[in-house]
Amino acid sequence: MKLLLDFLPIILFFGTFKYAEGHKDWAADFATSHLGFIVAGGRVGADEAPVLLATVVVIIATLAQVAWLKLRGRKIDMMLWVSLVLVVVLGGLTIWFHSETFIKWKPSVLYWAMGLSLWISQAFFGRNLLRVLLGEQMQLPDGIWRRLNFAWIAFFGMMGLLNLWVAYSFPTATWVNFKLFGGIGLMLVFTIAQGFYLSRYLPDEADPKAPPSPGPQ
């Protein structure tokens, strides 16, 4: 359920863009009629309508995501707050200026914010955030935790650059496809690769030399 909730805004962004792209004239008329008051000039063209409507939907979806978590008394991760601020600010600029450039920067800024938080926490406070999050599930040597941390920092940095390369080198439709399938797919591949790498350092549950469980016997 949490995984679906995390990816719901991007799925709605993708679905809205694809539908509007296939009905550009309708999308332009709908956006002009219902969103003209928040768009510079008050009119939305057919070519810009799909990404504008998708941006409105992702802003609403992210706001609803945070509101739902709040109402249920759930903890809201810092990265979700950062994502909310980015999507509202950059999405708002995209809508007002009729420019997809702003919303295209949002994934890169978010990737870099996550990487920067991992680096700052480790470099200046000696605190490995991945160890804080996963330390109860995995027992790893200190050096491996450091490698894992720097691997994710590098991955987030690379993903931010890759997002901008796709955004500026290919049509918007290609970028939208990459945003959903490419971003999630690469993260899945990277996570699986990390799992194979870390497996050699995890204790074998079947190993008779492994210490007994501290739980009740």
Question: Greater confidence, 92 or 205?
Answer: 92
Is pTM beyond 0.75 here? Answer: yes
List CB contacts of 44: < 8 A, sequence separation 6 or more.
28, 31, 32, 35, 36, 52, 98
pLDDT digits (tens, 9 = 90+) for 147-203: 999 999 999 999 999 999 999 999 999 999 999 999 989 999 999 998 888 888 776
Note the pLDDT of residue 176: 95
CA distance 23 to 21: 5
b/e per residue 138-169 (b: at least 16 CB within 10 A): eebeeebbeebbebbbebbbebbebbeebbee
Note the pLDDT of residue 141: 82
CB contact at 8 A, 11 and 180:
yes
- Answer yes or no: is pLDDT of 216 > 90: no
Domain locations along the chain: 1-99, 100-203
- Answer yes or no: is pLDDT of 63 > 80: yes
**pLDDT above 90 as % of the chain:** 65
Note the pLDDT of residue 209: 46
User: What CA–CA distances, in Å, run from 91 to 47, 78, 203, 211?
Assistant: 17, 19, 46, 53
pLDDT digits (tens, 9 = 90+) for 70-81: 998 888 888 899
pLDDT, mean of residues 51-65 = 95
Note the pLDDT of residue 2: 62
| Paired tokens of 32 | 């002009």
